[in-house]
Amino acid sequence: EDQVTQSPEALRLQEGESSSLNCSYTVSGLRGLFWYRQDPGKGPEFLFTLYSAGEEKEKERLKATLTKKESFLHITAPKPEDSATYLCAVRDNYGQNFVFGPGTRLSVLP
Amino acid sequence: KAGVTQTPRYLIKTRGQQVTLSCSPISGHRSVSWYQQTPGQGLQFLFEYFSETQRNKGNFPGRFSGRQFSNSRSEMNVSTLELGDSALYLCASSSGLAGTKTQYFGPGTRLLVL
């Protein structure tokens, strides 16, 4: 059974203090790993898709990386508007649906 | 391009009632997936429809059902509501099957069962 865990559960950073979020997964053949951002009361917003180990993608202050067992979402010099819950999801070679992790709740203080 | 829309945004029902939620996907998208989100269980997959056919189903009881129309709009129905059905119900659309293409989520319908 596919499983996704995320750590830490919650993270508080000062504005400008860089850090990383972790997503560890167990899947029968990874077809894709997805990062989403979710603001309170809203649906998840797509950030990145990673397909193979060694792949990296960047968008503004965010950079996602992928290994065979985990993915990291690096946040460089975060701003208060980066505060949100960050969700990781995987899809395997056999299933057609996504399995989501529990998320990391990020708070960036001014 | 308009995003995924869901109606209603908020709903209050009592135990035993039934409810129907609606989702309009992004124009051109043929796949609609439904998810339940609760603080305790997180985001859980309910089912996916593609070209009016249910393609995948998560581990939810038969009280949860859905359908998709020829214009790709989808409805989800929950019968005999239970207190534990209180949740944010999200739908997501994609241009291909959910596992093959990026999913874009709607704002959700928040259901409260009293």
Report the pLDDT value the prediction gives residue B59, as an integer from 0 to 100. Answer: 86
Phi, psi of B82 (to 5 degrees): -120, 160
Q: Residue A105 in contact with residue A10, Cβ under 8 Å?
A: yes
What tokens were used for B16?
């035993």
Report the pLDDT value the prediction gives residue B41, as an integer from 0 to 100. Answer: 87
Cβ–Cβ contact B60 with A under 8 A? no
* Beta-strand relationship, B104-105 and B5-7: unpaired
Which positions in chain B touch A95 (Cβ < 8 Å)? Answer: 56, 99
* Per-residue pLDDT at A85 exceeds 70: yes
How high does pLDDT run on average in chain A? 93
* Per-residue pLDDT at B58 exceeds 90: no
What is the mean pLDDT of the segment spanning B59-88? 96
DSSP A72-105: EEEE-S--GGG-EEEEEEEEESS-SS-EE---EE
Q: How far is B17 from chain A (nearest CA, A)?
A: 24
Residues with Cβ within 8 Å of residue B62, at least 6 apart in sequence: none
Q: Which of residues 11-50 of A touch B (CB under 8 A)?
A: 31-32, 34, 36, 41-46, 49
Report the pLDDT value the prediction gives residue A9, as an integer from 0 to 100. Answer: 96
Residue B25 gets which letter from DSSP? Answer: P
* Per-residue pLDDT at A96 exceeds 70: no
Look at chain B and count its residues: 114
Report the pLDDT value the prediction gives residue A14, as an integer from 0 to 100. Answer: 97
Residue B110 gets which letter from DSSP? Answer: E
* Beta-strand relationship, A56-59 and A62-66: antiparallel
Report the pLDDT value the prediction gives residue A95, as an integer from 0 to 100. Answer: 62
* Per-residue pLDDT at A33 exceeds 70: yes
Distance CA A23, CA A86 (A): 10
Q: Residue B7 in contact with residue B109, Cβ under 8 Å?
A: yes
Report the pLDDT value the prediction gives residue A29, as an integer from 0 to 100. Answer: 83
* Per-residue pLDDT at B1 exceeds 80: no
How high does pLDDT run on average in chain B? 93
* Per-residue pLDDT at A1 exceeds 90: no
- What 3-state class would DSSP assign to B74? strand
